[in-house]
C-alpha cells in the first residue's frame, strides 16, 4: 500500500455544555488550525463524519462546507459515521495515487438532545427500538456479560479523569466515584460524559508527508470490521470485530507504547484491551479518553489524532488508535501508527 501519514491534528476544547456555537463555528477553528499547521489551503480530497440525529435536522454536514471555504469546488464526501471512518475513506482515496493530501474532520453536539434516546433509534426499528432499551441499558448488559470487576472499573474512571484534567481539550471531572448505579452494574462515572466538540486531521501520502510534518505518524495498518446487530448473535464479553481488525491492522507485529481506545463505558476498555491483546505496559488513553470527553462523531477520530500526537511530538514510535460504532461495540476500527 502507498505510505500515508497523519501530518496534523487539531481538536476543540470540548465542553460538557452548549456554548451557543453552531456546527460551522465549532468546526472552523480546527480546520483553520490544521491548515495553518500544514500551510495547505487546498486538499486533494476532503471527507467528514457527523450525524443528523445529533443536530435534529437533515443534512447537518451541508453547512459544514461553508467552514471549509470550498471554493473553487472540492472533491469531497461524507460518512454518517464517526470521523474515524472518514479518515479511513480518505486513506483509501489516497491509495489511488492521483492525490497526495486529504482533510478529515468530525463533529457533534450531544448537548442539544437526549443522546441515550437518540442512540436507541439506531436499533432495529421493528424488533429492538420498541423495547425502549436505551444506550445505557445496552451497555449495562454488556458490562454484566463481561463480568467487569468494580475495583477495575473505578480505577479506569479515576485514571481517565485524572488524565482528562491534565488535557486542556478534555472536561474537568471529579475523582469521586458516586454511590449507587446508573443502570446496574454501571455507575454514572463509568459512562462517557455528554460533550460537544470537533476534530480535524490532515493526511499526506508519499514525500508530501515529510514536507508537511517533521515527525509524520505513518499509518502502518488500518482496518475495520462490523458484527451482527443483534446482541443475542454475539458473545458480549468479547469483541470479535476488534480482534479481527487489530489482526488485520497488525497491532501485534510490534510493541504498542500508547493506545487510544474509543471506550464510551469503562468496561469497554477492558474488553478492547483483551481483544487487541495489548501488552501490559501499553499506556491506555493518556488523553483521558472518551470517559473525559466524548464529542460523539469526533471521539473516534480524536483517538487516532491523539495516537498520532505522540509520534508528532517524538514521545512514542508506535501507537494504536481505535474507533467504535453501533450498540455494544458492534463496529470497530483499528489503526497502527508508526514514526
Contact positions vs another protein (CB under 8 A): 1, 22-23, 46, 51-53, 55-63, 65-66, 68-81, 85, 88-89, 92-98, 112, 118-119, 121-126, 128-129, 223-230, 233, 240-241, 244, 325-327, 330-331
Strands 331-338, 217-226: pairing kind: antiparallel
Strands 258-260, 318-325: pairing kind: parallel
**Closer to another protein by Cβ: residue 173 or 205:** 205
CA distance linking residue 20 with residue 17, whole number of Å: 9
**Closer to another protein by Cβ: residue 2 or 210:** 2
Smallest separation (angstroms) from another protein to the CB of 78:
5
Q: Assign residue 250 a region: left if phi > 0, alpha if psi is -120 to 50, beta otherwise? A: left
Smallest separation (angstroms) from another protein to the CB of 50:
9
CA distances from 77 to 8, 83, 256, 264 (A): 20, 12, 32, 27
Smallest separation (angstroms) from another protein to the CB of 112:
7
Smallest separation (angstroms) from another protein to the CB of 36:
20
What phi and psi values does residue 320 have, to the nearest 5 degrees? -130, 135
**Closer to another protein by Cβ: residue 157 or 296:** 296
Smallest separation (angstroms) from another protein to the CB of 48:
10
Smallest separation (angstroms) from another protein to the CB of 72:
7
Q: Residue 339 has which C-alpha cell?
A: 514514526
Smallest separation (angstroms) from another protein to the CB of 96:
4
CA distance linking residue 11 with residue 273, whole number of Å: 25
Question: Furthest-apart CA pair in the chain: how many Å?
Answer: 57
**Closer to another protein by Cβ: residue 81 or 192:** 81
CA distance linking residue 319 with residue 309, whole number of Å: 10
**Closer to another protein by Cβ: residue 114 or 149:** 114
Q: Quick one: angle between helices 266-276 and 240-249, nearest 10?
A: 50
**Closer to another protein by Cβ: residue 98 or 281:** 98
Q: Give me the sign of the Cα torsion angle 110, 222, 246, 315.
A: negative
**Closer to another protein by Cβ: residue 48 or 287:** 48
Cβ atoms 7, 38 nearer than 8 A: yes
Centroid of chain to Cα 263: 9
Amino acid at each position: 500500500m502507498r505510505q500515508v501519514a497523519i501530518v496534523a491534528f487539531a481538536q476543540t476544547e470540548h465542553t460538557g455544555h452548549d456554548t451557543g456555537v453552531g456546527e460551522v463555528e465549532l468546526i472552523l477553528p480546527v480546520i483553520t488550525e490544521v491548515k495553518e499547521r500544514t500551510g495547505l489551503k487546498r486538499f486533494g480530497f476532503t471527507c467528514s463524519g457527523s450525524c443528523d440525529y445529533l443536530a435534529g435536522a437533515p443534512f447537518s454536514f451541508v453547512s459544514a462546507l461553508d467552514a471549509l471555504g470550498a471554493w473553487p469546488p472540492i472533491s469531497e464526501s461524507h460518512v454518517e459515521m464517526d470521523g474515524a471512518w472518514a479518515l479511513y475513506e480518505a486513506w483509501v482515496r489516497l491509495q489511488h495515487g492521483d492525490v497526495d493530501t486529504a482533510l478529515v474532520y468530525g463533529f457533534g453536539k450531544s448537548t442539544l438532545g437526549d443522546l441515550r434516546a437518540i442512540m436507541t433509534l439506531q436499533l432495529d426499528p421493528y424488533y429492538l427500538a420498541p423495547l425502549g432499551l436505551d444506550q445505557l441499558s445496552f451497555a449495562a448488559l454488556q458490562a454484566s456479560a463481561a463480568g467487569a470487576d468494580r475495583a477495575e472499573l473505578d480505577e479506569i474512571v479515576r485514571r481517565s479523569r485524572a488524565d482528562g484534567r491534565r488535557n486542556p481539550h478534555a472536561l474537568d471531572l471529579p475523582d469521586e466515584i458516586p454511590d449507587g448505579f446508573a443502570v446496574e452494574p454501571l455507575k454514572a462515572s463509568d459512562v462517557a460524559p455528554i460533550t460537544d466538540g470537533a476534530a480535524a486531521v490532515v493526511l499526506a501520502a508519499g514525500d508530501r508527508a515529510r514536507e508537511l510534518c517533521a515527525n509524520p505518524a505513518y499509518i502502518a495498518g488500518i482496518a475495520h470490521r462490523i458484527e451482527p446487530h443483534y446482541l443475542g448473535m454475539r458473545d458480549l464479553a468479547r469483541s470479535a470485530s476488534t480482534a479481527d481488525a487489530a489482526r488485520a491492522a497488525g497491532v501485534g507485529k510490534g510493541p504498542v507504547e500508547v493506545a487510544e481506545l474509543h471506550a464510551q463505558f469503562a468496561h469497554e476498555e477492558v474488553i478492547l484491551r483483551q481483544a487487541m491483546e495489548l501488552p501490559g505496559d501499553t499506556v491506555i488513553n493518556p488523553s483521558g479518553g472518551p470517559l473525559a470527553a466524548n464529542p460523539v462523531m469526533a471521539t473516534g477520530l480524536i483517538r487516532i489524532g491523539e495516537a498520532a500526537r505522540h509520534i508528532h511530538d517524538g514521545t512514542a514510535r508506535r501507537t494504536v488508535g481505535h474507533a467504535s460504532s453501533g450498540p455494544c461495540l458492534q463496529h470497530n476500527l483499528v489503526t497502527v501508527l508508526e514514526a
